[in-house]
């Protein structure tokens, strides 16, 4: 492997390409073997380390990331013009890497300060949530939240983090027989149960397809002083609904405010792992560092949840090896089959996921991106695979089937019970996901410097040779515990999270 300050980084000794630490100019030595760049290699992009004939496999991370579409010479830029994805044809071996290494004895495990909700889990925040069945109750719900957040309605209730209205564009003109309806109701019930809420109001219009009553019945939710429901049509319109709802929240506030943080084992933590706006550094800095933090969470008795199925596509064989049972592995492969069908019937492709920004950052193929994405999941055994927005009941490292699209993915993870979000980004995503805090981890120092007010942590130090993956991983782990205990993340300081609730819409809107 090249030294920590060479122009290019070799990630694995068998690799055919190296990643440029900075822009490399034609004629410049890459720092690896005797390879001289023969054209510009942009920062984060790949340089060929040997001649690769057209059709030949190209390796990065020690794995095949695609095939050459034309002859490639040593020192050439390897990207869209000469590299393309190959269909996944890896040998699937189930449950061969399932040793839970480094588990910490319970008495030595770390703790955090959380809100004990009994059987409902442990909260890292204490919000009042307004859930909406349909877009038609969005505006009323926003007004109710505004009434408390902006007009002094929370004065004297310092222990309440705010009232958040989670609105969306769906809820009617959908078939109740479809996955779309299933996913929407699962998301709503998951949020209704989330331990970061001290109280919940569920508001419908009244005549929508997505009725309140079937949600309560199917998911066994019961109304109480802290869980109320209503419809605008029953109450007689906008003003009357706002008044009735505000009165209900006023009634909830004293008891919601009375809950105090107490010392809790890390088994109360469920960490959502997410990446957005990835670049060529994601897979070599922030994602492996987050993977290390994920391992620390799991070793301390907590749960971490990888997601974004299209982003792990092509690297699923690394996860099925880690599945604790063949059933867990089969469930993962079953979801990947579902995705093949879902994308095919919608005229999309599973292998076109690298976005405009990803490509500009140097990622060429979905396989390359997938290997980098899976790195967020660390090395612990995979204990369960969940469908979108299913409640996460297993402890340890788990996977949830979601799209890669950030707001949809995180909405599913939070519905599953995640109470902290860790979000790596190379291009610089800005977002938050109430009621869970979100920690942003920059993959490179240039972006970190440029967008420092939005980036909680910089993993770019791994690329500059200033820190190891383990050091950055340990910093992420400590920040997770601090934020879970009440320290505000940067996106919380901007009060992000009122607009990023996006339940996965699957199927037709009629």
Backbone angles phi, psi at 504, to 5 degrees: -65, 120
Residue 305 contacts Ca ion per CB under 5 A:
no
**252 three-class SS:** helix
**Nearby residues of 392 by Cβ (< 8 Å), 6 or more positions away:** 270, 303, 305, 384, 386, 398, 400, 416, 417, 418
Binding site partner of 275, from its own copies, Ca ion, none, Cβ cut-off 5-8 A by kind: Ca ion
What is the x/- site pattern for its own copies, positions 266-295, by CB under 8 A? ----------xx------------------
Candidate segments 108-116, 260-268, 339-347, 494-502, binder of Ca ion by CB under 5 A:
494-502
Q: How far is the CB of 321 from Ca ion (least distance, A)?
A: 22
- Considering CB distances under 5 to 8 angstroms, the limit depending on partner class, which of Ca ion, its own copies, none binds residue 42? none
Range 94-123, binding its own copies (CB under 8 A): none
- 452 binding partner (options Ca ion, its own copies, none; Cβ < 5 to 8 Å by kind): its own copies
Judged by CB under 8 A, the chain residues 296 through 315 that form the site for its own copies are 310
Say if residue 220 is exposed, middle or buried (CB neighbours under 10 Å; 0-12, 13-18, 19+). exposed
Nearer to Ca ion, 104 or 172 (CB): 172
Among 95, 111, 135, 485, binds its own copies (CB under 8 A): 135
Closest approach of its own copies to the CB of residue 125, in Å: 17
User: Cα separation of 119 and 140, whole Å?
Assistant: 31
Using CB under 8 A, which of the segments 56-64, 257-265, 472-480, 490-498 binds its own copies? Answer: 490-498
DSSP 156: T
Which CB, 1 or 509, lies closer to its own copies? 509
Residues 475 and 140: beta-carbon distance below 8 Å: no
Measured from the CB of residue 437, what is the shortest distance to its own copies in angstroms? 15
Rounded Cα distance between 188 and 203, Å, is: 11
- Smallest distance from the beta carbon of 134 to Ca ion, in angstroms? 12
Neighbours of 6 (CB within 10 A): 16
The reply to whether 355 sits near its own copies by the rule CB under 8 A is yes
Give whole-number Cα distances, 417 to 123, 308, 392, in Å: 10, 16, 6
By a kind-dependent CB cut-off of 5 to 8 A, residue 162 interacts, out of its own copies, Ca ion, none, with Ca ion
Binding its own copies (rule: CB under 8 A), the pick from 8, 19, 20, 174 is 174
Residue 215 or 409 with smaller CB distance to Ca ion: 409
Q: Which of 217, 349, 466, 487 binds its own copies (CB under 8 A)?
A: 349
Site for Ca ion in 373-432 (CB under 5 A): 404, 406
Contacting its own copies within 154-173 (CB under 8 A): 167-169, 172-173
Alpha carbon 431 to chain centroid, angstroms: 11
| Per-residue tokens: 392 | 């996460």
The backbone torsions φ and ψ at residue 162, rounded to the nearest 5 degrees and listed phi first, read: 145, 170
Q: Which of residues 203-242 bind its own copies (CB under 8 A)?
A: 205-209, 211, 232-233, 236-240
> Which residues in the 413-442 window bind its own copies by CB under 8 A?
427-432
- Spell out where 21-171 has E strands: 46-48, 57-60, 63-68, 77-78, 83-84, 111-116, 122-123, 127-132, 162-166
Helix (H) or strand (E) holding 479: helix 469-484
Quick one: what does residue 208 bind among its own copies, Ca ion, none, with the CB cut-off 5 to 8 Å set by partner type? its own copies
C-beta of 429 vs 458, nearer to its own copies:
429
**Binders in 8-67 for its own copies, by CB under 8 A:** none
Closest CA to 131 of 222, 197, 224, 217: 197
Q: How far is CA 64 from CA 36, 61, 126, 229, 360, in A?
A: 23, 8, 46, 53, 21
**33, 53, 452, 487: residue in contact with its own copies (rule CB under 8 A):** 452
**What are phi and psi for residue 371, nearest 5 degrees?**
-60, -40
Q: What residues from 149 to 188 belong to the interface with Ca ion (CB under 5 A)?
A: 149, 162
**Sheet of 17-20, strand order:** 8-9, 17-20, 46-48, 77-78
When the beta carbons of 369 and 376 are compared against its own copies, the nearer one is 369
Mention every residue, 6+ apart, whose C-beta is less than 8 A from residue 198. Answer: 115, 123, 126, 127, 128, 160, 226, 252, 255, 256, 257, 259
Q: Cβ closer to Ca ion: 41 or 205?
A: 205
**Cβ proximity of 378 and 291 under 8 Å:** yes
Candidates 64-72, 289-297, 324-332, 340-348: pick the segment binding its own copies (CB under 8 A): 340-348
Which residues are near Ca ion by CB under 5 A?
A: 149, 162, 275-276, 278, 404, 406, 495
């Amino acid at each position: 492997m090249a030294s920590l300050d060479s122009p290019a980084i070799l990630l694995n000794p068998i690799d055919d390409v190296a990643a440029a630490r900075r822009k490399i100019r034609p004629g410049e030595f890459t720092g690896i073997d005797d390879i001289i760049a023969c054209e510009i290699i942009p920062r984060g992009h790949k340089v060929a380390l040997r001649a690769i004939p057209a059709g030949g496999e190209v390796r990065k991370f020690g794995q095949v990331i695609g095939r050459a579409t034309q002859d490639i010479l040593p020192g050439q830029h390897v990207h869209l013009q000469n590299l393309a994805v190959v269909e996944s044809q890896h040998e699937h071996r189930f449950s061969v890497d399932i040793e839970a290494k480094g588990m910490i004895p319970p008495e030595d495990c770390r703790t955090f300060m959380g809100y004990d909700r009994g059987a409902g889990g442990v909260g890292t925040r204490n919000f009042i949530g307004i859930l909406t069945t349909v877009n038609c109750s969005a505006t009323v719900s926003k007004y109710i939240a505004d009434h408390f957040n902006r007009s002094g309605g929370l004065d004297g209730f310092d222990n309440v983090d705010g009232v958040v209205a989670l609105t969306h564009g769906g809820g009617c003109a959908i078939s109740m027989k479809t996955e779309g309806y299933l996913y929407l109701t699962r998301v709503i019930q998951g949020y209704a149960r989330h331990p970061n809420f001290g109280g919940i109001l569920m508001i419908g219009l009244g005549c929508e397809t997505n009725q309140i009553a079937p949600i309560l019945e199917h998911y066994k939710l019961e109304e109480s002083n802290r869980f109320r429901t209503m419809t605008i049509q029953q109450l007689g319109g906008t003003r009357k609904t706002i008044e009735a709802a505000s009165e209900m929240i006023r009634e909830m506030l004293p008891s919601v405010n009375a809950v105090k943080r107490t010392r809790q084992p890390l088994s109360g933590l469920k960490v959502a792992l997410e990446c957005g706006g990835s670049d060529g550094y994601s897979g070599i800095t922030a994602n492996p560092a987050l993977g290390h933090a994920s391992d620390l969470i799991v070793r301390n008795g907590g749960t971490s949840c990888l997601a974004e199925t299209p982003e792990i596509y092509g690297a699923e064989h690394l996860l099925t090896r880690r599945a604790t049972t063949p059933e867990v592995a089969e469930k993962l492969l079953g979801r990947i089959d579902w995705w093949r069908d879902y994308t095919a019937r919608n005229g999309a492709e599973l292998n076109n996921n690298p976005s405009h920004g990803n490509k500009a950052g140097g990622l060429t193929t979905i396989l390359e991106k997938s290997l980098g994405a899976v790195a967020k999941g660390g090395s612990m055994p995979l204990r369960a695979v969940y469908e979108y927005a299913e409640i996460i009941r297993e402890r340890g490292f788990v996977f949830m089937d979601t799209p890669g699209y950030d707001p949809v993915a995180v909405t599913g993870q939070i519905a599953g019970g995640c109470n902290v979000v860790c979000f790596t980004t190379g291009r610089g995503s800005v977002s938050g996901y109430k009621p869970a805090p979100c920690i942003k981890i920059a993959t490179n120092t240039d972006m970190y410097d440029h967008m420092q007010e939005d980036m909680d942590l910089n993993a770019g130090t791994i690329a500059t040779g200033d820190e190891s993956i383990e050091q950055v991983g340990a910093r992420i782990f400590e920040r997770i515990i601090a934020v879970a205990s009440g320290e505000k993340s940067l996106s919380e300081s901007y009060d992000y999270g009122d607009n990023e609730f996006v339940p996965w819409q699957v199927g037709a809107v009629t």
